Amino acid sequence: MAEAVVDRYAGVVLDIDGVLLRGSDPIAGAPDAVAALREHGVELVFVTNNAAATPARMAERLEASGVPAAPDAIVTSALAAAVLIEPSTRCLVIGEDGLRSALDERGCVVVEDPDEAEVVVVGWSRNLVWDDLRRATLAIGAGARFIGTNADVSYPASEGKLPGNGAILAALSAATGREPEIAGKPEAPLYRAAAARLPDGPLLMVGDRLDTDIKGAAALGWDTALMLTGVTDSYESAGGSSEPTYVLERLEELLEPPATADSG
C-alpha cells in the first residue's frame, strides 16, 4: 500500500473552524474523514482561535456535527492566553465563557474597574458594547498589559464572513496606539500547547488560513496542509509569504499519497 500523507507524522493538528465546521455546520466530508483518520491510527488534536467557547462546549459542537472529540483533545486560544498570565493577576476581560473560564482555572482575578487592571485580555465577544471598549482603552492607556487571544479579523460563519477578534483588537489599538501580544495562531503558545498533547516526532498542521494556521506552524518547523474549505478557497488567490507543504480540497486527501503544494 502506498504511503499516505499522515504516515509521515507522529500526529496531526486540525483547525476546527474552516476545516471541520463552518459556523455550526459540518464541512462536507469532514466527519467521515476524521473517523477514517482515527481508524488509520492517526493521533489528533483539535485547535481553534475562537476563545468564546470552553473546550467542553467545543467538544459538544464537534459531537453535534458528527466529530466526537474529548475536551482534553481541544486547545483554544483562551487556554493559550491564560498560560501567559501569572495566577492572581488582576484582569479586565472582553470575551465570553471560554476566556473567562480559562482565566478562572489559571487563578486570575477578573476586575471591571480599569484602574484595578494589570492586564487587559481580549477575546471574541458577540456581546461587545461600547463600554467594554471604553474600560479596556482606559486600562491599556494607564499601562496595563494588552493581550489578545487571537488576531483573526474575520470569522467564517454559515451566512458568510463576520467580524473576528482582530476587529476588536484593531479598535483598541487605534484608540490606544498600542499593539497586543497574541496568544493564538500564528503565535507559538497555541501550537506548543497542541504539541504537548501529541507523541514526540514530526507534526502536521491542517488549517484554512495562510496568515495564521500555516504561517505559525511553518515558523516552528512543522509541515502544513492548507484546506480550501474555509476562509481560503483558492491557493492561487490567497497570497501571503507562507507556502504550505500540501494544498487539499478534501480532508480525506490526508489518507492518500502525498502531493506537495507545488505539484498539486
Residue 159, helix vs strand vs coil: coil
Tell me the residue type at 227: M
Catalytic residue status for 97: no
Catalytic residue status for 17: yes
Give the active site residue among 15, 132, 211, 213. 15
Rounded Cα distance between 60 and 132, Å, is 29
Give the active site residue among 7, 17, 115, 131. 17
What number of residues does the chain have?
A: 264
Rounded Cα distance between 212 and 77, Å, is 12
Rounded Cα distance between 200 and 10, Å, is 7
Contact 203, 222 (CB under 8 A): yes
Rounded Cα distance between 70 and 89, Å, is 29
Contact 166, 183 (CB under 8 A): no
The residues that are catalytic are 15, 17
